[in-house]
Each structure stands twice: as C-alpha cells, then as structure tokens.
A and B are shown apart, each in its own frame.
Chain A
Amino acid sequence: MGSADLIALWISFRLAATTTLLLLLLCTPLAWWLAMGASRWRVLVDAVVSLPLVLPPTVLGFYLLILLGPAGSLGGVLQRLGLPAPAFSFSGLVIGSMLYSLPFAVQPLRDAFQSVGARALEAAATLRASPWNRFFTVAVPLASRGILTAVVLSFAHTLGEFGVVLMIGGNIPGRTQTASIALFDHTEAYRLSATLVAICFALLLIVYTANRRLRATGLPA
C-alpha cells in the first residue's frame, strides 16, 4: 500500500466524517418534522428523501456534475461571483455524498423519533420542560439507538460509495480520489481492500456492541 493509497484513505475518512456530521445537523430537524409534523407534504418529502436509493449513482453524479461543474448552471454562477465551482473538489464530494447518503440518515432518525411518541414529550411538557429541554433530555436519549444507526449507516455508506464521487470528483489523486476509487484503479489491491474491510468491520462491531449496551441499560428501541 503506497502513500497514494494512504492519502486516498484519509480523503475517504474526512469525507465520511464531514458528510455524517452535516447530515446529522441537517436531517435531525427534517426527520423530526417528518415524524411529528402534521403537514400533508410529508409523504412527498419522504419520497424525495428516498430517491437516492433508487437512482443509479452515475445518474445522480451526472446531474450534480452538470449543476455544479465550472461549466454547469450553478457552478458557473458561483465562478462568476469569484467562488470556486464545487465539482472536482472536496466540497463537491461532500455535496454528492450528502445527497447519496441522505436516506440512510433520515430514515433511522425519523423512525426513532416516531417511536419516542408524543406521550413522553407531553408528559415532559406538563412538568414545564421547554421544547429544547424536551428534545435533548427526553427525545434524544429515547432515540439514541436510531441516531447511532443513522451515524453509522451514513458514515459507512459514504466510505463505500463509488459512482457519485467518481463522476462529481473526477478521480484526482490527492484531491478527490477516495479509497474506493483508488481500489478500482489497482488490478491487485489486496492490501487496500483488506484495510477498508477491516476498518468497516471494526466500526460495525463497535456500533453493535454499543447498541446492545444501550438496550441493556433499559432504553426502549
């Protein structure tokens, strides 16, 4: 495994961590609204959020490219404003990964918030807990397993993605070449493959152990 592979691994991890963090910030209010809201638009939003599951990654990547590239509609506008176009850069990878992993963050969060239910929150409200207080001291602990699942699925899914990052990133070593793309370039990439498998396995093992612990402490699923 050469230094280029290590750099690719590092890019993959930065990408997965950034994507997961941003998705968590963005998807928590969205999932809350989907779980607790009363709007009839929720069905539509649910379907849109799930769209990346059925779209082929290269199709998603293609549309992102013609939107975000220097010659693209949005990318071109950004460039005229003196800002870099997101395609072929790390920020482009993050945007692509966030879209691609969106359902993996939203769906566990939505289900977890749904299972918290209105009753526990109403009980807290009668004890004069403020909305924020109710969210952080009642909803989050009760939904902790769902949150953990969302984090791990987003992280792992980003780590393994290929089609979207290849299209939007351009496979540029040191900039947008992630480990999963570097693997594709090698004909014999046993070491990099094995490293990636070992890391993902360790990650999942930690999560499932933590999940069992959470269950053992008596928190409902």
Chain B
Amino acid sequence: MKTNARKYPFGAVAALLGLVAVPIQAAALHVAVAANFLGPLQNLAPLFERASGNQLIISSSSSGQLYTQIKQGAPFAVFLSADLDKPQRLESEGLTVPGSRFVYAVGALVLWSPKPGLVDSAGKVLQAQQYRFIAIANPQTAPYGTAAQQVLTKLGLWEPLNRDRKLVTGENINQAWQFAASGNVDLAFVALSQVLGADGTIAGSSWLVPQTLYDRIEQAGVIIAHTSEQAAAQVFMNWLRTDPAALSAIRSAGYQTAN
C-alpha cells in the first residue's frame, strides 16, 4: 500500500476520494417489505438502482413480524407494510420519521380458480356453492383475509360457509393462493398481484371483486426514525411516490396507486 501510494500519488488521492464518495453515491438501503409486495419490489429495485445509484437490500416477512422487529430496533430504514394499521401504530409510538407515511399501493381482491371456466365474471359461483372448499387468508392477521371476510359477510355467505365447514384459512395470502394453485381447494380469495401475469392476463378463471364489497386495502410505507440511512430512504420514498416508471411498475403488478 505504502509503495503504491508513493508511486501513484494521484491514484491514492483518487482512491481516497472514491472511498469518501462511494457511500454517498451508492448507499445501501435496508427495506423491510410485507410478503405480498416482495415480488413487485424486487422488480422495482433495479429501476431504483439505475435512477439513484442506491442499492436496495430487501428483507421480507409478514407485516406483523416486521412491526415487532422494528419495535425491537431492527436495522431497517424503510417499512413497506401490507396494511395501513401497522405503519400508523409505529407512527403513534414515535418510531417513524414524521410525515413520511404514505399509501404506496392499493390492493385488489380477486376470487380465483386455476381451472378455466369455473369462476364467472360476476362471482355467481359463490352463491351456487357447488364447490368443496374455498380458501381465504387469516382474517385476523392478513388484510386480504379481512377483505375476503367482508365480501362473504356482505353476500350473506360467511355464516353458511362456516357452518358447512367449507372455509379453509391460510396463514397468509400466499398460502391461500397455494391451496388453490395446487388444486387442493376449488376457489380462493387472493390478491390480484398474485395471479396477474406479466402479459396483463390472469390464468385460470377469476372475478375481480367490486370495491364496494370490502374496505380499501391500503398498503402504507414509512421511514424508520432510528435509521442511519435517512437520506437514501427519503430519496427512495419520493421516487416510489412520484416516479412514473415506478408507478407504472406498481400498477402492472396488480395494484392501484394514489398518483
């Protein structure tokens, strides 16, 4: 090192500048994301890296677990939740950067079967009850499960389906999807983002549930107060909220956006 520095003083200076410049130029940004948005975020990551030079380091789990981990001081800078509630709770507990919370995606609920022709475009298949099992995500813990419960209640099916033991509950929305995709249940309430193909079509058969039947599934994100990556986090959140390429990627993944 010493001889090199003597031989190439300019190189040494450049290297030093580089060392100083690199952390600003290509900062690592630790993002905690709810499992249902992991796929879309993995697609967004290279776009953001190209736009900003910052690298996303993505950790994924259920929103509830991520919430607990953040409360215990997990080294995440940004939290993209699957709901509105957990970011709000973190905010009221003073663990987020004030004013950083916004709804980055609005989810859509779909009744889906991998079999073509089983689900009609008006969801009448639900009333006919010609199926053995229908899968939903856990209404207690998963936002899409709560939404599915609201839909079934509004259609007057929640009680009869429970009575006839036709409801299968997945721990999360991925499990509900797996039950149907593997053919173990006939139907499942899943997220549009799970079944929407890259070409914008849905394999099998599906019913896009009208928004009037369930509360909006708003997914909010926040910047965590104790992070040392504030600057990069701000850049990322601005980009996620306003960048046309980011917004269009979110929409083509099966979500609505506020902008």
Q: Of A88, A173, A187, which contacts B74 at CB under 8 A?
A: A88
Decide if A178 is an interface residue (CB 8 Å cutoff): no
Let me know if B75 and A172 touch, CB within 8 A: yes
B19-71 contacts to A, CB under 8 A, are: 30, 32, 38-39, 57-61, 65, 68-69, 71
Q: Of A66, A170, A173, which contacts B75 at CB under 8 A?
A: A170
Q: Do A87 and B74 contact each other (CB < 8 Å), given the known contacts A167-B65, A167-B69? A: yes
B69 proximity list for chain A (CB < 8 A): 65, 69, 88, 167, 170
Most central of A69, A71, A87, A170 by chain B CB within 10 Å: A170
Decide if A135 is an interface residue (CB 8 Å cutoff): no
Decide if B73 is an interface residue (CB 8 Å cutoff): yes
CB distance from B44 to the nearest CB of A (A): 15
27 CB < 8 A contacts A-B:
A65-B68, A65-B69, A66-B72, A69-B72, A69-B74, A70-B73, A71-B71, A71-B73, A72-B72, A85-B73, A87-B72, A88-B73, A88-B74, A88-B75, A166-B61, A166-B65, A167-B65, A167-B69, A170-B61, A172-B30, A172-B57, A172-B59, A172-B75, A173-B59, A185-B38, A185-B60, A187-B39
CB distance from B70 to the nearest CB of A (A): 9
Nearest opposing residue in chain B for A174, CB measure: B57
Decide if A18 is an interface residue (CB 8 Å cutoff): no
Decide if A177 is an interface residue (CB 8 Å cutoff): yes
Decide if A10 is an interface residue (CB 8 Å cutoff): no
A62 proximity list for chain B (CB < 8 A): 68
CB distance from A22 to the nearest CB of B (A): 24
Let me know if B73 and A87 touch, CB within 8 A: yes
Q: Do A65 and B72 contact each other (CB < 8 Å), given the known contacts A172-B30, A185-B38? A: yes
B57 proximity list for chain A (CB < 8 A): 172-174
Decide if B214 is an interface residue (CB 8 Å cutoff): no
Binding site for A on B (CB under 8 A): 30, 32, 38-39, 57-61, 65, 68-69, 71-76
Decide if A96 is an interface residue (CB 8 Å cutoff): no
B32 proximity list for chain A (CB < 8 A): 170
Q: Do A71 and B61 contact each other (CB < 8 Å), given the known contacts A172-B30, A185-B38? A: no
Binding site for B on A (CB under 8 A): 58, 62, 65-66, 69-72, 75, 85, 87-88, 166-167, 170-174, 177, 185, 187
Q: How far is the CA of A70 from the CA of B71 in the complex (A)?
A: 9
A66 proximity list for chain B (CB < 8 A): 72
Nearest opposing residue in chain A for B177, CB measure: A187
Let me know if B61 and A171 touch, CB within 8 A: yes
CB distance from A79 to the nearest CB of B (A): 8
B73 proximity list for chain A (CB < 8 A): 69-72, 75, 85, 87-88
CB distance from A57 to the nearest CB of B (A): 12
Nearest opposing residue in chain B for A85, CB measure: B73
Q: How far is the CA of A62 from the CA of B64 in the complex (A)?
A: 12
7 smallest CB-CB distances across A and B, nearest first, come from: A70-B73, A69-B72, A71-B73, A171-B59, A69-B73, A170-B74, A71-B72
Let me know if B68 and A177 touch, CB within 8 A: no
Nearest opposing residue in chain A for B75, CB measure: A88
Q: How far is the CA of A173 from the CA of B30 in the complex (A)?
A: 9
Let me know if B59 and A177 touch, CB within 8 A: yes
Nearest opposing residue in chain A for B72, CB measure: A69
Q: How far is the CA of A71 from the CA of B67 in the complex (A)?
A: 13
Q: How far is the CA of A72 from the CA of B71 in the complex (A)?
A: 9
Q: How far is the CA of A10 from the CA of B59 in the complex (A)?
A: 18
Additional 17 contacts, C-beta under 8 A, given A69-B73, A167-B68: A58-B65, A65-B72, A69-B69, A70-B72, A71-B72, A72-B72, A87-B73, A88-B73, A88-B75, A170-B61, A171-B59, A172-B57, A173-B57, A173-B59, A174-B57, A185-B38, A187-B39
Most central of A66, A85, A166, A174 by chain B CB within 10 Å: A166
B38 proximity list for chain A (CB < 8 A): 185
